[in-house]
Structure 1
Amino acid sequence: MPLIIFRYLSRQMLQVMLAVTSVVLLIIMSGRFVNYLAQAATGTLKADFLFAIMGYRIPEFLVMILPLGLFLGIILAYGRLYVDNEMTVLSACGLNRNQLLAMTMIPAIGVMLLVGLLSLVVAPLGIQKVERIFAEQNSLTEFDTLVSGRFQKFGWQRVTYAEELTDDHQQMNKVFIANRNVNSSNMGSMTLLMAETARIEANAGEDGQRYLILEDGYRYDLTPGILPLREIEFENYGLRMEERNSRKEISKEQALPTEKLLASDKLGYRAELQWRISLPLLIPIVVLLALPLSQVNPRQGRYVKLLPGILLYLLYLALLMSGRGAIEDGRLPPDIGLWPIHSLFLLIALMMYLFEPGKLWLSRRRAGHA
Structure 2
Amino acid sequence: MIVFRYLSREVMITMSAVSAVLLVIIMSGRFIKYLAQAASGILDPGVLFMIMGFRLPGFLQLILPLGLFLGILLAYGRLYLESEMTVLSATGMSQQRLLAITLAPATLVALLVAWLSLSLAPQGVAQVATIINQQDAMTEFDTLVPGRFQALRDGTRVTYTQSLSENRVDLSGVFISEKRMSQDKAKDRGISVLVAEKGRQEVRADGNRYLILENGFRYDGNPGEANYRAIQYDTYGVLLPKPDVSSDITDREAIPTGELWGSTDPRPRAELQWRLSLPVLVFIVTLMAVPLSRVNPRQGRFLKLLPAILLYMAYLTLLIAARSAMEKGRLPAALGMWWVHVLFLAIGLLLMYWEPMKLARASRRAKGVTHGQA
Q: Same fold (TM over 0.5)?
A: yes
Paired residue secondary structure (1:33): helix
**1:272 equivalenced with 2:293 (yes/no):** no
Deviates more, 1:254-263 or 1:61-70: 254-263
Once residues 334 and 202 of structure 1 are traced to their aligned partners in structure 2, the CA distance between those partners, rounded to angstroms, is 53
2:306 aligned partner: 307
Aligned to 2:106: 108
Match of 2:50 in 1: 52
**How far did residue 340 of structure 1 move?**
0.4
Deviations 1:15-51 (CA, angstroms, capped at 9, x unpaired)? 1100000000000111111111111112111111111
Q: Is the 8 A contact 1:142 1:242 kept in 2?
A: no
User: Alpha-carbon deviation of 1:327?
Assistant: 0.9
Secondary structure in structure 2 of the residue aligned to 1:102: helix
Please show how residues 1-370 of structure 1 align to structure 2 within 5 Å. Answer: 3-154=1-152, 155-183=154-182, 187=188, 189-203=190-204, 208-243=207-242, 252-370=251-369
For 1:108 and 1:95, the matched residues in 2 are separated by: 19
Q: 1:331 to 1:88 in 2, by over 3 A?
A: same
* TM-aligned CA deviation for residue 251 of structure 1: 5.9
Amino acid at match of 1:27: I
* Aligned-partner residue type, residue 352 of structure 2: Y
Q: 1:41-91 CA distances to partner (integer Å, 9 max, x unpaired)?
A: 121111111110001111110000000000000000000000100000111
- Supply the AA of the counterpart residue of 1:159: V
Mapped partners of 2:128, 2:65: distance in 1: 24
Q: Give the gaps of 5 or more residues in structure 1.
A: none
Q: Secondary structure at the match of 2:254?
A: coil
Unaligned runs of 5+ in 2: 370-374
Partner Cα distance (1:186, 1:63) in 2: 47
Q: Secondary structure at the match of 1:198?
A: strand
Contact persistence 1:137–1:244 (CA under 8 A): no
Between 118-127 and 150-159, the greater mean CA deviation after superposition: 150-159
Q: Equivalents in 2 of 1:241, 1:273: separation in Å?
A: 42
Alignment deviations for residues 324-354 of structure 1 (CA, whole Å, 9 cap, x no partner):
1111111111221100010001011111111
> Contact 2:266–2:327 at 8 Å: present in 1 too?
yes
Distance 1:348 1:143 in 2: 58
> Shift of residue 123 of structure 1?
0.9
* Residue identity in the other structure for 2:195: M
For these two proteins, the number of residue pairs brought into alignment is: 363
Distance 2:84 2:227 in 1: 86
**One-letter amino acid of the structure 2 residue matched with residue 294 of structure 1:** S
Deviation at 1:188, TM superposition (A): 6.0
Letter in 1 for 2:72: I
Task: Tell me if the contact between 2:147 and 2:161 (Cα under 8 Å) persists in the aligned partners.
Answer: yes
Describe the SS at the equivalent of 1:300.
coil
Kindly provide the CA deviation profile for residues 84-121 of structure 1, in whole angstroms up to 9, marking residues without a partner as x: 00000111122111110100001100100000001101
Shift of 1:368: 2.7
Distance 1:34 1:291 in 2: 36
Give the conservation status (yes or no) of the 8 Å contact 2:95–2:352: no
The answer to whether the 8 Å contact 1:188/1:224 transfers is: no
**Residues 1:186 and 1:257: Cα distance change in structure 2 (over 3 Å):** closer
Task: Name the stretch that deviates more: 82-91 or 213-222.
Answer: 213-222
State the alpha-carbon separation in 2 of the partners of residues 325 and 24 from structure 1.
25
8 Å CA contact 1:13, 1:73 repeated in 2: yes
Q: Aligned AA for 2:218?
A: R
| TM-score, length basis structure 1 | 0.94
Q: Equivalents in 2 of 1:306, 1:171: separation in Å?
A: 61
- Out of 219-228 and 272-281, give the one that drifted further: 219-228
Distance 2:323 2:14 in 1: 30
Return the offset for 1:229: 1.3
What amino acid does structure 2 have at the position aligned with 1:278?
A: S
Normalising by structure 2, report the TM-score.
Answer: 0.93
Query: Using a 3 Å threshold, how does the CA distance of structure 1 residues 116 and 369 change in structure 2: closer, same or farther?
Result: same
* Residues 329 and 211 of structure 1: CA distance in aligned 2, closer, same or farther (over 3 Å): farther
- CA 1:350–1:290 in 2, change beyond 3 Å: closer, same or farther? same
- Which segments of structure 1 move beyond 4 Å, counting only runs of 4 or more? 243-246
Q: CA deviation at 1:243?
A: 4.9
Answer whether contact 2:78 2:301 (CA < 8 A) is retained. yes
- Equivalent position of 2:372 in the other structure: none
Q: Percent identity?
A: 52
Q: Distance in 2 between matches of 1:351 and 1:251?
A: 42
- Could you say what the CA RMSD is over the residues aligned between the two structures, in angstroms? 1.7
